[in-house]
């Protein structure tokens, strides 16, 4: 399985998509393609919480995920799973699907001035994290590793865009098996 598709769910800045396309290709050594953008995910909206269900979104993505490939959905919507107040993203552990929400990655969410470079880095780290799950990686205790659990934006910012030694090894093994 050497293909990764990106899909924007709703409108996403083209520059950001191009950046992720290039960097994720390098990081995972996968060929990266783009699927047709998807419409705004109104079907996943929960009026009580005012957020979007990432479970509903994943269910939609599974329908269109090309055979033998991985699919990363990217949305500006704020995502949740029922038991948690929000999630930065979600993935199928050892699966093919992942979704990342940009909602809480923007500086504006924290009432700061917009900064596209920071957004890019955050989006890359979160995408690496969720895609890492699809390769069977679980949360890593190394705070600087993209696979560590970030429960807030500060923890996400502490991460680097480079795997720790252990996750690098596990990823290499998993990729060897899935290719």
Partner 1 sequence: MKNQWEILVVDDEEVMRESLAAWLKEDGYTVDTAASGHEAIEKAGEKDYAIYFIDLKMPGGIDGIETMMQIRKLHRDASIIIITAYATVDTAIAAMKEGAQEYIVKPCNLEEISLLVTRILKVKTLQRENAMLKKRLTKTYTLNDIVSKNPRMQEIFQLIRDVANLRSTVLIQGESGTGKELIARAIHSSSDRANMPFVGVSCAALAETLLESELFGYEKGAFTGATTQKKGKFEQAHGGTLFLDEIGDISPKLQMDLLRVLQERSFYRVGGSEEIRVDVRVIAATNVNLQEAVRNGRFRDDLYYRLNVINIRIPPLRERLEDIPLLARHFIERLSVEIGKDVEDISENALQLLLSHDWPGNVRELENCIERAMVTCRSRILTRADFAFLAKEDEGRDPWFVPAITLQELEKQAIESAIKRSRGNIKEAAAQLGIERSTLYDKIKKYEIMR
Residue with smaller CB distance to partner 1, 25 or 166: 166
Q: Are strands 97-101 and 69-75 parallel, antiparallel or unpaired?
A: parallel
Residue with smaller CB distance to partner 1, 66 or 141: 141
User: Three-state SS for 141?
Assistant: coil
Is 63 a catalytic site residue? no
Q: Active-site residue among 63, 130, 142, 173?
A: 130
User: Three-state SS for 36?
Assistant: coil
Nearest approach in angstroms of CB 123 to partner 1 is 18
Give which of 67, 3, 12, 68 is closest to 36, Cα–Cα. Answer: 12
Residue with smaller CB distance to partner 1, 12 or 164: 164
Nearest approach in angstroms of CB 37 to partner 1 is 26
Nearest approach in angstroms of CB 173 to partner 1 is 6
What whole-number distance in Å separates Cα of residue 75 and Cα of residue 151?
19
Contact (Cβ atoms closer than 8 angstroms) between residue 74 and residue 32? no
What whole-number distance in Å separates Cα of residue 61 and Cα of residue 41?
11
Residue with smaller CB distance to partner 1, 92 or 107: 92
Contacting positions for partner 1 (CB under 8 A): 49, 53, 55, 80-87, 90-93, 133, 138-139, 141, 149, 151-152, 164-166, 169-170, 173, 177
Q: Which residues are catalytic?
A: 130
């Amino acid at each position: 399985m050497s293909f990764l598709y990106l899909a924007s769910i709703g409108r996403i800045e083209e520059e950001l998509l191009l950046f992720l396309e290039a960097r994720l290709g390098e990081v995972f050594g996968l060929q990266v393609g783009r699927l047709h953008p998807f419409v705004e995910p109104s079907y996943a909206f929960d009026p009580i919480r005012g957020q979007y269900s990432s479970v509903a979104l994943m269910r939609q993505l599974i329908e269109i995920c090309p055979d033998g490939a991985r699919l990363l959905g990217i949305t500006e919507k704020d995502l949740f799973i029922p038991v948690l107040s929000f999630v930065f993203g979600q993935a199928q552990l050892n699966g093919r699907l992942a979704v990342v929400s940009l909602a809480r990655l923007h500086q504006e969410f924290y009432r700061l001035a917009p900064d596209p470079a920071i957004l890019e880095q955050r989006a890359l780290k979160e995408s690496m994290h969720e895609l890492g799950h699809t390769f069977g990686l679980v949360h890593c205790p190394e705070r600087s590793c993209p696979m560590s659990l970030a429960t807030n934006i500060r923890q996400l910012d502490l991460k680097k865009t480079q795997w720790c030694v252990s996750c690098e090894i596990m990823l290499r093994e998993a990729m060897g098996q899935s290719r």
